[in-house]
Amino acid sequence: MYRMVTGWDSCDAGELRRAAAHIADLKKAYNQRWGWRRADDTLPTGTLTEPPTDGAAAGVGLTPPNRTA
């Protein structure tokens, strides 16, 4: 599937990680250009308040960071 999207014949895990990091950096730069601040850079509320009900992380919730923006 990756080859169909990118045209690359093959890629390893490191290349996938670099591509993902590049995508995240581009998304953040775009958001900052349109006024996002550090306080806006957080996980969705549901992710922080509703623990998963199945899988390896069932019942384990995340907590919001203890910092101010």
What residues does each domain of the chain span?
2-36, 38-69
Q: Across the 69 residues of the chain, what is the mean pLDDT of every consecutive 10-residue run? A: 78 86 94 90 79 84 61
Dist. CA 8–CA 4, nearest whole Å: 8
Please state the pTM of the whole predicted model: 0.54
pLDDT on residue 23:
94
Return phi, psi of residue 67, to 5°. -145, 160
Give the span between the Cα atoms of 6 and 39, in whole angstroms.
33
Q: For the chain, how big is the Rg over CA atoms in Å?
A: 17
Name, in order, each residue with C-beta under 8 angstroms of 3's C-beta and a sequence gap of 6 or more: 9, 10
Please report the pLDDT score of residue 6 as a whole number.
Answer: 79
